[in-house]
Amino acid sequence: MINFHNVQFVKSLIKMDQRPQPQLPEICFIGRSNVGKSSLLNALFGTRKLVKVSGTPGKTQLVNYFLVDNTFYCVDLPGYGYARLPKKEQIKWQKMIEKYLLQNEQLKRIYLLIDARHELQSIDRQMMEWLDHQNLNYSIILSKCDKVSKNTLNKTILYFKKYIPSVEILPFSVKENGMILSLKKEIARLKM
Q: Is residue 82 scored above 80 in pLDDT? A: no
Sheet with 107-115, strands from edge to edge, namely 7-13, 63-68, 72-76, 26-31, 107-115, 138-143, 169-171
Q: Which residues make Cβ contacts (< 8 Å) with residue 121, sequence separation at least 6?
A: 32, 81, 114
Q: What's the rounded mean pLDDT across residues 80-104?
A: 81
Pairing of strands 26-31, 107-115: parallel
Domain boundaries, given as residue ranges, for the chain: 7-189
For the stretch 14-70, pLDDT in tens is 888 889 999 999 999 999 988 999 999 999 999 888 887 655 555 557 899 999 999
Domain 7-189 falls in which CATH fold?
A: Rossmann fold (3.40.50)
Q: What is the pLDDT of residue 138?
A: 96
Nearest to 45 by CA among 9, 95, 94: 9
Q: Is the peptide bond before 22 cis (omega within 30 degrees of 0)?
A: yes
Identify the burial level of 99 via C-beta atoms within 10 angstroms of its C-beta, where 0-12 means exposed, 13-18 middle and 19 or more buried.
Answer: middle
Q: Report the run of H or E that residue 42 belongs to, with start and end.
A: helix 37-45
- Mean pLDDT for the chain overall: 89
Q: Is the pLDDT of residue 81 over 80?
A: no
Banded model confidence at residue 139, pLDDT cuts 50, 70, 90 = very high
What is the pLDDT, as a whole number, of residue 178? 95
pLDDT of 84 > 70? The answer is no
Mean pLDDT computed over 179-191? 92
Pick the closest to residue 139 from 160, 161, 118, 110 (CA basis).
Answer: 110
Burial of 44 (0-12, 13-18, 19+ CB in 10 A): buried
